[in-house]
Structure 1
Amino acid sequence: MRLREWQLAFETFLLDEAATANLRLEGSLIGGPTLDIGTGLAIYHNAYKARLLEVLRNDFEVIWQWMGDEEFDLLATSYLRQYPSAHYSLRWLGKGFEGFIREYLVPEQSAPLAEMAALEWAFTLAFDAPAGEPLTIENMATLAPEEWPELQFKPIPSLQWLECRFNSLALWRSVKEDTDFPASAALDTPNACLIWRHELICNYRSLDSAEAAALNGLLNEGWSFAELCANLAVTYGEDAPLQAVTWLKQWVQDGLLERLQR
């Protein structure tokens, strides 16, 4: 058996739930005095599955703590059965977990769990994203007055934006801070949650609706600073420029923005 054929046969064995090795694969192996071929293959098969479950437990620690070992492993095993690992890096194993939860469970169960999966995956994406070149207060201080009206921005590569309809952040914090796990509850009003990495640390915070709308306009609708002020004027009147500068300073200090060069 050539190496490529052997690799494919071994892969087929690992992915086979029944863990049955074909005769050619078994015939290519040599047992030892204390470990026969069948036992050795079974160890590999069990270790492979255990490693995949371990990765999902680490990537979705809050859901694991929420559901408990048995229920989480049942959910994760069903996910792996429907969406087996297809990337050479286990980093991407949980990419489809949120979508699977929405498909697999009834809406009453899936909605809060899927939102938590999206939240936990957002932290993974933020942590692994390129650093980018976030603006600093020092950068802003060098801008000439005539540059401000047309100034435009884009998000740093690690910025993730979620709309939370449940108290997912409270549940997430309880696990990370090792406090009592609260009951899941729907929020009276959905809120925007930002997750990003700044100086090697993942950060998060919620935005009220006004700030979320302003930042969305800046990053997703292409507003310039002048357009930001004009839109805020509807609510804040003559105080709009001050509010715009206040939020902009906060976003820059948080390390959320890069300058968009046209």
Structure 2
Amino acid sequence: MRLNDWQRELEAYLLGSDPTANPALRASLLGSSALSAEQGLAIYHNAYRARLLEALRGDYPAVHGWLGDAEFDALAGAYIAAHPSQHFSLRWLGAGLADFIDAYLVPAQAAPLGELARLEWAFGLAFDAAEADALSLEQMADLPAEDWPNLQVRLLPSVQWQLCRYNSLALWRANKAQDAFPGSLALEQPQVCLIWRQGLISQYRSLQPDEAEALHGMAVAGWNFAELCVQLSELGDNAPLQAATWLRQWLCDGLLQRYGG
């Protein structure tokens, strides 16, 4: 058997669900008095799958904690079978788990569990995101008054925008604190949760609907500061003050970078 053929045979064996290797692969290996070739291959097969499962448990501790070992392992096994690892790094193995949950479970179960999975994945994305310099209060203080109306900003790469319809954040916090899980509940009103990184620390906070709309408009939809004030015109003369207050909060949080001129 040529080397590249042998490598393909070994890869197919490791990715398959059957721990028994085909005769050609077994015949290509030598065992020992302590461990046969069949036993060694089975150990390698099980160890590979165990490492995949370990990676998913590490990326989704709250989902794991909520489901328990047996149910999580069944979910993870089905996911791995449907989505074999395609990347040299296991960091990206679980990228599609939330979407898989949506199709794998009945909607009543999938909706809250999938949302929790997306929330956990967002924390990982925020932590791994590329570095970028946040726009600071000091830089804003140096901005000439005539430049304020045309000011445009964008979210930093680490900022993740998650819309929560369930108490997923409470479930995530309970797992983080190793407390008992609260029951899964639908929120009276959907809530935006922002997740980002400052230094090596993940940060998060929930936004009220009016602040979420303002931040999305300015940092995602492309409003400049003058357009933000127009959107707040129902506040009358207080519109610029509210816009400036929110902008200051976003700067203190370290969410924004300057965009354009």
After TM superposition, the score normalised by the length of structure 2 is: 0.97
Aligned residue identity for 1:252:
L
Mapping of residues 132-143 of structure 1, within 5 Å: 132-143=132-143
Q: Which residue matches 2:256?
A: 257
Q: Which amino acid is the alignment partner of residue 93 of structure 1?
A: L
Distance in 1 between the 2:70 and 2:236 partners?
56
State the identity %. 55
Separation in 2 of the partners of 1:24 and 1:96? 34
Compute the displacement of 1:71 (Å).
Answer: 0.6
Aligned length: 261
- Equivalence for 1:185: 185
Moved over 4 A (4+): none
In the alignment, is the contact (CA less than 8 A) between 2:159 and 2:196 conserved in 1?
Answer: yes
1:149 paired to 2:144: no
Q: Offset of 1:21 from its aligned partner? A: 1.8
| Aligned equivalent of 2:79 | 79
In the TM superposition, what is the alpha-carbon distance from 1:189 to its structure 2 partner?
0.3
Per-residue CA distance 1:100-153 (angstroms, 9 max, x = gap): 000011110000000001000101111111011211112112211111110000
Q: Which amino acid aligns with 2:187?
A: L
CA RMSD of aligned residues (A): 1.1
SS in 2 for 1:94: helix
Structure 2 Cα separation of the partners of residues 29 and 78 of structure 1: 30
1:49 positional shift: 0.8
Asked if the contact 2:20/2:38 (under 8 Å) is kept, the reply is: no
Residue 80 of structure 1 and its aligned partner are, at CA, apart by 0.8
Aligned partners of 1:35 and 1:138: how far apart in 2? 67
Helix, strand or coil at the partner of 1:203? strand
Pair 1:57-2:57 in alignment? yes
Give the structure 2 partner of residue 214 of structure 1: 214
SS of the aligned residue for 1:188 comes to strand
Cα distance in 2 between the residues matched to 1:241 and 1:178: 43
Of 127-136 and 18-27, more deviation after overlay is shown by 18-27
CA drift of 1:196 comes to 0.8
How many angstroms apart in 1 are the aligned matches of 2:241 and 2:31? 76
1-structure distance, mates of 2:87, 2:192: 31
Paired amino acid for 2:195: I
The answer to whether the Cα contact below 8 Å between 2:137 and 2:251 also exists between their aligned partners in 1 is yes
Q: Whole-Å Cα distance in 1 between the matches of residues 121 and 258 of structure 2?
A: 27
Asked if 1:163 is matched to 2:163, the reply is yes
In the alignment, the residues of structure 1 paired with residue 32 and residue 142 of structure 2 have an alpha-carbon distance, to the nearest angstrom, of 71
CA distance in 2, matches of 1:74, 1:23: 29
Which amino acid in 2 is paired with 1:25? L
Q: By how many angstroms is 1:7 displaced?
A: 1.9
Shift in Å, 1:65:
0.5
Provide the secondary structure at the position in 1 that maps to 2:203.
strand
| Structural mapping, 1:119-130, within 5 Å | 119-130=119-130
Cα offset, 1:4, TM superposition? 2.3
* Residue of structure 2 in register with 1:21 after alignment: 21
In the alignment, what sits opposite 2:172? 172
Task: Work out the CA distance in 2 between the residues paired with 1:191 and 1:7.
Answer: 49
Q: How does 1:208-247 map to 2 (within 5 A)?
A: 208-234=208-234, 236-247=235-246
Instruction: Output the CA distance in 2 between the equivalents of 1:51 and 1:253.
Output: 40
**Paired residue type of 2:255:** L
The alpha-carbon deviation at position 22 of structure 1 amounts to 2.6
What SS is found at the alignment partner of 1:132?
coil
Structure 1 length as normaliser, TM-score?
A: 0.97
Q: 1:30 and 1:138 mapped to 2: Cα distance?
A: 68
Letter in 2 for 1:43: I
In the alignment, the residues of structure 1 paired with residue 3 and residue 238 of structure 2 have an alpha-carbon distance, to the nearest angstrom, of: 71
| Counterpart Cα distance in 1 of 2:224 and 2:145 | 14
Letter of the aligned partner of 1:258 in structure 2?
A: Q
Which residue in the other structure is 2:69 paired with? 69
